[in-house]
Amino acid sequence: MGSTPTVSVVMPTYNRLRSLQRALQGLAEQTRLERPIEVIVVSDGSTDGTDSYLASAEPPLPIVAFSQENAGPAAARNRGVDAATGELVLFLDDDVVPTPGLVAAHLRDHDQADDDLVVIGPMNTPPDHDISPWVQWEQNMLAKQYEAMDRGVYAATPRQFYTGNASVARRHVIAAGGFDTAFRRAEDVELAYRLADRGLRFYFDHDAVVLHYADRSFDAWRRMATDYGRNDVIFARDKGRTWLLDSIAREFGDRNTLIRGLTRTCLPRPRFAKAASSVLAAVARSAGRVGVEPVAQRALSAVYNLDYYRGMADELGDPADLLARFDQAAA
């Protein structure tokens, strides 16, 4: 067994002490490793006792810990990458639990490929997690992507580069300029576009599993959708991803009739959009409480898509611009 770590695990954390402890325990239980791993945790302005815990003797494995003023996950990950000594960086979130073979699976994939590989693993729903209906919707969408990549419907792309579970050679992250700290949402996907520009390939390994103990409020879930919509426009307009809006417009044509109709009706009418979202949210909550899961999930899908396209329209400055793109793609 060598003494130099092959992989550095970089994990930002913010006010999730109990989740962080669970994640670190999962890393302590990794199997089939021939070299030690380096674990770097960056506390991004935590106020819940995380810093004291990281400075204590309590963590279940050796860690390198840093604390900083709250600056967002991009800045925290950059801090971890700068400090890393491993050839590979494995990015994990603080709300995941690595399964015992996670690190070995990432290492195997990199060992069997050239240096230009980015490995993405699934963030599966834990069987013991009491999950909210909106987070369940989010997990269902991830599961659909995983199934499609497994079946060969499409290969992994930068749009699946979620740093809750992904690995890449450290030198590539540095050469690409690291994470853009201007973004606090989709900063991982934005970096992935730059990695792809450098010729890196993306690979999905269904065996590189973490369990995702996701927990967010309904309002936070909705803000996430709006943020993703805004950022996609920024990526296209300001970051040279001019193809992205055309791709999104084509994908709109594949949405179900309800979502397409609501989007076209609501975007030009902000008050109507707000009322429609409120009604759909109420339907989703009620259906979830009485166990009518299909109805809840359809209503949540409509809410998420409305918020996402509203974010796009807001960033473009005129809903008519976005609707015109949809019409052009459908022509």
CA dist 133 and 300 (Å) reads: 8
**Helix residue spans in 12-64 (DSSP H):** 17-28, 50-55
| Region for 193 from its dihedrals, namely left if φ exceeds 0, alpha if ψ lies in -120 to 50, beta otherwise | alpha
Please, which residues bridge with residue 60 across strands? none
Taken in order 297, 302, 304, 305, the sign of the CA dihedral is positive
Reference 39, options 76, 89, 75; nearest CA is 89
Is the pTM higher than 0.85? The answer reads yes
Q: Which residue has the tokens 């296209």?
A: 236
**Please, which residues bridge with residue 89 across strands?**
8, 168
- Angle between helix 293-316 and helix 319-330 axes, rounded to 10 deg: 110
Q: How confident is the model over 188-229, as pLDDT tens digits? A: 999 999 999 999 999 999 999 999 999 999 999 999 999 999
Which domains are assigned to the chain?
Answer: 7-212 (3.90.550.10), 218-330 (no CATH)
pLDDT tens digit sequence for 10-44 = 999 999 999 999 999 999 999 999 888 999 999 99
